[in-house]
A and B are shown apart, each in its own frame.
Chain A
Amino acid sequence: MSEIELLDHPSQEIEEINEEELSYWKDAWLRLYANRPALSGLIILTFLALCAMIIPWLSGYTYYETHLELKNSPPSSTFWFGTDELGRDLFTRIWWGARISLFVGVTAALIDMVIGVFYGASAGFIGGKVDDVMMRFSDVLHSLPYLLIVILLMMIMRPGVATILIALTITGWINMARIVRGQILQIKQNDYVAAAWMLGASRWRILLRHLIPNAIGSIITTMTLTIPAAIFAEAFLSFLGLGIQAPIASWGTMASDGLPALRYYPWRLFFPAGFISITMFALNLLGDGLRDAFDPRLRI
């Protein structure tokens, strides 16, 4: 075979690039920015996160001090969100609870991501028998009713944040693993991977340089959508009395405490319930927006 010669060609023959270059991330961000609902979701979340960080420091009350004479009082200028049955300021407790709920949600999602990405990428990348076995295992695990197992676990372990995290992530990673594996399988088929392979790239390089970066979009999206599921699960557990113990409160436990008092002191339920809903709403809007922003099919 003869050597490859470089031909000289006048610049006019090379096809012009008509559009301005857009990197993958810039394109995704532009699309997200144009998506009003998603953008509002992002703004709401940022606001909530900031409040959760700052307000507990600034508030004049702590989350545990009781004012028994003022218990169960409705929202007023002294207690913006009212007080609970022990006279504690609900406004402060809401923002302490925000820290807990958000922390649990985000951490659970992160753990799910780490396990899921590792598991799914390995299965998809190695392929063949190993992939088969790994997927069978996760399928069986997935077929077990999730919430039931969680409840059982919560009952036998000591209550606390660590327990909740373990319970939430024990099967939560399967969803992420499936999505990552699907992405890897899809990307593996692309011609540019074959090209890299032919040019002599090692398997590691292909994995790190081509497969994972192109799957990051899905990973981020799935993570964003896992957080509300985790927050919901935590609130659900609290409702069953399996959540965080007093005096620390998450939104879930506060909602659960507020339920029996619904008729006469509705604010005790509505504030935590409202914040749970708003947070999940914002996260879902953002997650949807991210999914659309990273979708390669929508690229023009």
Chain B
Amino acid sequence: MIKRYLVRKFFLLTFSLFLVATLTFFLMKAAPGDPLIQEQAVPAEIMKSMYAHFGLDQPWYVQYVKYLKELITWNLGPSFKYEGRTVNEIIREGFPVSFTLGLEAIFLSLCMGILFGTIAALKRSLWQDHVAMIIAVIGISVPNFIMATFLQYLFSMKFAILPVARWTSVAHSILPALSLSALPTAFIARLTRANMVEVLQQDYIQTARSKGLSTSQVVFKHVIKNTLLPVITYIAPLSSAILTGSFIVEKIFGIPGLGGWFVTSVTNRDYTVIMGVTIFYSTLLMITVLLIDFIYTLIDPRIQITKAKVIKE
């Protein structure tokens, strides 16, 4: 049964990716303007050869097939605006940076979010709960680019504690990671609190206490696991949020990551880069979702896909 589940999910994934690729292709084709327009006027001959070089003189369906073929071999084509650079290169350079930043942000969000949420749940209706939850609402209300600029202004410009921009040391990653993690932390905190409050009201918590377990023992042995299971499913949209958040945060802090490149290519209308990065990110996200789904079904014993049914007395 696991095999069937995996196969089905794989097909869904491939289909979605195909959809994204097609969508991106046609959107780019539909975009107004000429992708090869340069600043200075270029003689017609050279333009023609450039067109031929990029295959832009072919009818659209030929281009489409070529496009799909190249995708499967993971050739994302050259950049139109940067001489001699291919999209693959850009991704190879920029992604590790973004990935590191993203991981930091995910780690921060999980730690702080779960901590805040747990405190709020255990001290429900007391001041700790209210304070933690107000902070959480602020976290989801202040857009991350505002948070980023605010932090930058406060810690780098007004009080020069942390570096303003660039990516040369660990200290450089603190502010960007914090800005990226604000929204996810808040979400995780609220989710953890809601789950934990519900778990704490369950009857089996009562059973645990009646055995003589102290509050902390109850929390660690019964509450945490059942609270955090749903939080795991949040990791998928979490990655998505951090990914899109990275666009602006990288721009603000001048970080040479893939997100920053994406923003630049949007501004410059560098279509191959836009397409390539979109496809790359989409693939990444969808694989993450699939992975998380799969891991979750492995961990939660209630939805074992392969286990047998209820055994009657």
Contact = CB atoms under 8 A, between A and B. Distances in A.
Direct contact of A and B (CB under 8 A): yes
Interface of A: 37, 140, 143-149, 151-153, 155-156, 228, 232, 235-236, 239-242, 255, 259, 262-263, 266, 269, 273, 276-277, 280-281, 283-285, 288
Given A148-B281, A239-B145, A255-B146, 12 more contacts: A148-B278, A148-B282, A152-B23, A155-B266, A156-B27, A156-B30, A156-B32, A228-B141, A235-B145, A240-B248, A262-B157, A277-B142
B50 interface: no
B16 A140 contact: yes
Interface of B: 12, 15-16, 19-20, 23-24, 27-28, 30-32, 134, 137-138, 140-143, 145-146, 149-150, 152-153, 157, 240, 243-244, 247-248, 252, 263, 266-267, 269, 274, 278, 281-282, 285-286, 289
B17 to A, nearest CB: 10
A266 B153 contact: yes
A273 B147 CA distance: 9
Nearest to A281: B141
Contacts of A146: 240
Contact of A277 (B16, B23, B146): B146
Contact of B266 (A145, A151, A269): A151
B252 A145 contact: no
A236 to B, nearest CB: 7
A144 B247 contact: no
A242 B269 CA distance: 12
A281 to B, nearest CB: 4
B157 A236 contact: no
B24 A152 contact: yes
Contacts of B145: 235-236, 239, 255
B31 A262 contact: no
A149 B142 contact: no
| Secondary structure type dominating chain B contacts | helix
Nearest to A147: B244
A151 B31 CA distance: 12
A280 B274 contact: no
A145 B240 contact: yes
A152 B27 contact: yes
Contacts of B137: 37, 281, 284-285, 288
Contact of B15 (A140, A155, A281): A140
Nearest to A259: B149
Contact of B248 (A37, A145, A236, A285): A236
Given A140-B19, A145-B281, A262-B152, A241 B267 contact: yes
Contacts of B149: 259, 262, 269, 273
Contacts of A240: 247-248, 263, 266-267
B12 A140 contact: yes
Nearest to A258: B149
A110 B173 CA distance: 39
A155 B31 contact: yes
24 contacts: A140-B15, A140-B16, A143-B16, A143-B286, A144-B16, A144-B23, A146-B240, A148-B278, A149-B23, A235-B143, A235-B145, A236-B143, A241-B266, A241-B267, A255-B145, A269-B149, A273-B146, A273-B149, A273-B150, A277-B142, A277-B143, A277-B146, A280-B143, A281-B142
A145 B269 CA distance: 20
A77 B237 CA distance: 46
Given A155-B269, A288-B137, A276 B282 contact: no
B150 to A, nearest CB: 7
Contacts of A236: 143, 145, 244, 248
A105 to B, nearest CB: 13
A31 B63 CA distance: 60
Contacts of A259: 149, 252
Contact of A145 (B15, B146, B243): B243
Contact of B274 (A152, A262, A284): A152
Contacts of B240: 145-146
A87 B243 CA distance: 37
Contact of A280 (B16, B24, B142, B150): B142
Contacts of B150: 273
A111 B267 CA distance: 29
Contacts of B16: 140, 143-144
Contacts of A140: 12, 15-16, 19
A188 B302 CA distance: 25
Contacts of A255: 145-146
Contacts of B285: 143, 145
